[in-house]
Amino acid sequence: MEYDDYRPSLPGDYREEKEEDIVLTEDGMRRLREELEYLKNVKRWEVAKRLEQARAFGDIMENSEYEDAKHEQAFVQGRIVEIEYILDNARIIREEDIDASEVTIGSTVYLEDLERGEELRLRVVSAAEARGGRECISDQSPVGKAILGRGAGEVVDVQVPSGVIKYRILRIER
């Protein structure tokens, strides 16, 4: 399978619901461009080299290194296609357009877990931008959905598998 032949099915957020915007913050756009650059100019060639080395081991039918490299190649190419689609179809939210009076995509939100008394700092981003870590939370997550459109001082109930968590929105920043 050649790179150009691979067309993964992307998560519903990206293709099936075309009428919904893919929204990115400026920082999210920058990070995705950097990831795309790395995947195209570094990772893709590393995988190609792995495939070449694995072929040198002989029979590719029973060659686990070759199979692993092919799976990685498919993953890398799938991620490239996904990022290109996101970048081609995204609407960018500029920091100066973020309204700090209510939680929106791009807001940094300070929450208090009312049961534990812990404070959380989260940046609300779109599902296209949320990829673990970085103290980001998707607007489609239970917490993201519960706090969107809310203001500082409000208490929200978030339904999670283990029950309900209550958060107080302490403050909202750009």
Judge whether 3-93 and 95-173 match in fold: no
The residues that bridge with 119 in the sheet, in sequence order, are 112
pLDDT mean over 143-172: 94
DSSP letter string, 3-59? GGG--PPPPTTTTTTTTSPEEEEHHHHHHHHHHHHHIIIIIHHHHHHHHHHHHTTS-
Dihedral, CA of residue 67, residue 72, residue 73 and residue 76, to nearest 10: 170
Residue 47 burial (CB count, 10 A): 21
155: its two tokens: 């208490």
89: its two tokens: 């179809």
What rounded mean pLDDT belongs to the chain? 85
**pLDDT of 26-48, one tens digit each?**
989 999 999 999 999 999 999 99
Q: CA-CA distances (angstroms) from residue 66 to 51, 58, 88, 167?
A: 6, 10, 33, 49
What's the chain's Rg over C-alpha atoms?
20
Query: Which class in CATH covers the domain with range 3-93?
Result: mainly alpha
pLDDT of residue 65: 85
- Nearest CA to 43 out of 78, 94, 89, 86 is that of 78
For domain 95-173, give the fold.
Answer: Chitinase A; domain 3 (3.10.50)
Domain boundaries, the chain: 3-93, 95-173
**pLDDT of 35-83, one tens digit each?**
999 999 999 999 999 999 888 877 767 778 888 999 999 999 999 999 9
